[in-house]
Amino acid sequence: MSRVKKGVNALKRRRKVLSQTKGYRFGRSTKERQAKEALAHAGKYAFAHRRDKKSDRRADWQVVISGALKEHNISYSKFIGALKKKEVAVDRKILATLIKEHPASWKRLVSNINSK
């Protein structure tokens, strides 16, 4: 059986790992073992924080909506409850966009929801 040398493939693998850790600090960008460890953690955090990002955005929208409702003396929870009761299918992202980009439409929506 002929001998198989893996030098080329090992070097490719090392270069790939080190190119992925470009910009990392200290040995994490230059030493293979530390670079592999850093990449493993980076991947884990990236996966977890893709989920966290969604809840962070939703929290930001809630703050924007709550702040805009203070002008109308309505609490956030009462407003969301009234939206659901009147079956207005508008999510928080759209409400936050309305507040920032279309204030007239936002005021009209609040007055419609607030009127009994």
User: Is 70 a residue whose pLDDT tops 90?
Assistant: yes
pLDDT at 2: 86
> How does pLDDT run across 26-58, given as a tens digit for each residue?
999 999 999 999 999 999 999 999 999 999 999
Q: What's the pTM?
A: 0.72
Nearest one of 88, 82, 84, 71 to 114, comparing CA atoms: 82
Mean pLDDT (the chain, rounded): 94
Domains of the chain and any CATH numbers: 7-114 (1.10.1900.20)
